[in-house]
Amino acid sequence: MRSFPIDRDHLVATLADLIRIDSVNPSLVPGAAGEAAIAEYLAGRLKALGLAVKTLEATPGRPSVVGTVQGSGGGRSLMLNAHMDTVGVEAMVEPFAPTVSDGKMHGRGAYDMKGSLAACLAVVKALADARVSLRGDLVLAAVADEEYASIGTAEVARQVPVNAAIVTEPTELDLCIAHKGFVWLEVETMGRAAHGSRFFEGIDANMRMGRFLGRLDRLEQDLRARSPHPLLGPPSLHAPLLRGGTELSTYAASSRLGIERRTVPGETSTDVQGEIEVLIEQTRAVDPSFKAVVRCLLARNAFEVSPEAAIVKVVRDAAMRHSHRTPSLIGKPFWMDSALLADAGVETVIIGPIGGGAHTAEEWVDLQSLEDLAVILANAAVTYCE
């Protein structure tokens, strides 16, 4: 087994450069910078390292950068995936001024996930420095918009076929092999508008929503009592949005409820919507004049990969060899781009650095863990693509 020394100074300097470039997601914060500048920086760096670089930009102003180390042929192809966008910086004093103290770099995106981008660049540099030639392609995908609608990875998954992918979201160097999905639903109950005094005409949509909510509350308790996924626990739901009626003196003609349902692997959006339809039917069975519909607004599948999958074993072995510790196989409760890659038929696993403060005012990443990550990724790439 060869080892690939990582140029730590280069990695740290790259991360500092990336933090200095504002790449706040404009879908989260209207008017924010977006990915154009950071994509240009990364494209330049990847070209300088000898990669074939293309920019995917189906949505104008929202580019993703794909750099490929072309293999000699006959090997498996692997994608390293990291997002370039960050959440907003409102509560931060100097979000784009990276500082290092105590082996940690601070700044917006340090942990989520410019540190991983810098580690991926360090991998490509280490392999180039060591003049390694692989049979399969090694692809670095720096993607847009993970923090909002994942248009970057969606486009990359359509345009760049690979055998396997490593999403480098933070995992404290453990191996994430599952995460939950979610389905956003809207239920609307229909009433009849009437002057507030005309009880014999009006049908109150809000009161009808109350009946539905009673049943939804029981479904919520039922979900949490279901046998839990070993890494992710039980599915769940909540009702974060409720809006109905127009004014105090008028019967509410319509009431709308937003439901977020968190799913475990194996549950589909059709299943989830079906459960809600059953509740509507049950309410209607008691009162045939009850009228309601359910619509699916957005569905993102849960993700799971077998611990026996080739990419999982390769990354696990690489981590064990480097740190003499078996990384834990973990699940994460929140959704990541990994599900889009898996849905496209790409065998995917998640591993990333140690840090804290994602989406808060005090974000930091542990620099040693980035160096460790780069070593693990480099060795995994060589084994997988050789």
What whole-number distance in Å separates Cα of residue 6 and Cα of residue 128? 11
142 is an interface residue for Zn ion by CB under 5 A: no
What whole-number distance in Å separates Cα of residue 79 and Cα of residue 139? 4
What whole-number distance in Å separates Cα of residue 259 and Cα of residue 239? 4
We find the least distance from the C-beta atom of residue 150 to Zn ion, in angstroms, to be 10
We find the least distance from the C-beta atom of residue 358 to Zn ion, in angstroms, to be 7
At residue 299, φ and ψ (nearest 5 deg) are -135, 130
Query: Between residues 272 and 373, which has the closer beta carbon with respect to Zn ion?
Result: 373
The two beta strands, 254-263 and 104-106, are: unpaired
| Cβ burial, residue 214 (10 Å; 0-12/13-18/19+) | exposed
The residue count for binding Zn ion (CB under 5 A) is 3
CB under 5 A: which stretch of 12-20, 110-118, 148-156, 363-371 binds Zn ion?
110-118
Q: Which residue is nearest to Zn ion (CB)?
A: 112
We find the least distance from the C-beta atom of residue 338 to Zn ion, in angstroms, to be 11
Query: Between residues 104 and 211, which has the closer beta carbon with respect to Zn ion?
Result: 104
Query: Between residues 302 and 336, which has the closer beta carbon with respect to Zn ion?
Result: 336
Query: Between residues 77 and 116, which has the closer beta carbon with respect to Zn ion?
Result: 116
Query: Between residues 113 and 374, which has the closer beta carbon with respect to Zn ion?
Result: 113
Query: Which residues from 246-265 bind Zn ion, rule CB under 5 A?
Result: none
Query: Between residues 113 and 123, which has the closer beta carbon with respect to Zn ion?
Result: 113
Query: Which residues from 149-178 bind Zn ion, rule CB under 5 A?
Result: 169
Closest CA to 70 of 168, 159, 164, 162: 162
We find the least distance from the C-beta atom of residue 42 to Zn ion, in angstroms, to be 16
Query: Between residues 106 and 208, which has the closer beta carbon with respect to Zn ion?
Result: 106
187 is an interface residue for Zn ion by CB under 5 A: no
We find the least distance from the C-beta atom of residue 317 to Zn ion, in angstroms, to be 25
- DSSP state letter for 77: P
Query: Between residues 200 and 334, which has the closer beta carbon with respect to Zn ion?
Result: 334
We find the least distance from the C-beta atom of residue 131 to Zn ion, in angstroms, to be 33
Cα separation values, 20 from 24, 47, 76, 84, Å = 12, 21, 35, 12
Q: Tell whether omega for the bond before 113 is within 30 degrees of 0, i.e. cis.
A: yes
We find the least distance from the C-beta atom of residue 304 to Zn ion, in angstroms, to be 19
CB under 5 A: which stretch of 70-78, 105-113, 269-277, 313-321 binds Zn ion?
105-113
113 is an interface residue for Zn ion by CB under 5 A: yes
| Cβ burial, residue 281 (10 Å; 0-12/13-18/19+) | exposed
Query: Which residues from 191-230 bind Zn ion, rule CB under 5 A?
Result: none
363 is an interface residue for Zn ion by CB under 5 A: no
CB under 5 A: which stretch of 113-121, 232-240, 263-271, 275-283 binds Zn ion?
113-121
We find the least distance from the C-beta atom of residue 81 to Zn ion, in angstroms, to be 11
Whether the Cβ atoms of residue 196 and residue 202 lie closer than 8 Å to each other: yes
We find the least distance from the C-beta atom of residue 169 to Zn ion, in angstroms, to be 5
| Cβ burial, residue 1 (10 Å; 0-12/13-18/19+) | exposed
Whether the Cβ atoms of residue 46 and residue 124 lie closer than 8 Å to each other: yes
Whether the Cβ atoms of residue 255 and residue 189 lie closer than 8 Å to each other: yes
Whether the Cβ atoms of residue 152 and residue 44 lie closer than 8 Å to each other: no
Query: Between residues 113 and 367, which has the closer beta carbon with respect to Zn ion?
Result: 113
Cα separation values, 134 from 38, 131, 199, 232, 384, Å = 28, 10, 77, 36, 9
What whole-number distance in Å separates Cα of residue 117 and Cα of residue 16? 11
We find the least distance from the C-beta atom of residue 111 to Zn ion, in angstroms, to be 9
What whole-number distance in Å separates Cα of residue 160 and Cα of residue 311? 18
112 is an interface residue for Zn ion by CB under 5 A: yes
Query: Between residues 112 and 366, which has the closer beta carbon with respect to Zn ion?
Result: 112
Binding-site ranges for Zn ion (CB under 5 A): 112-113, 169
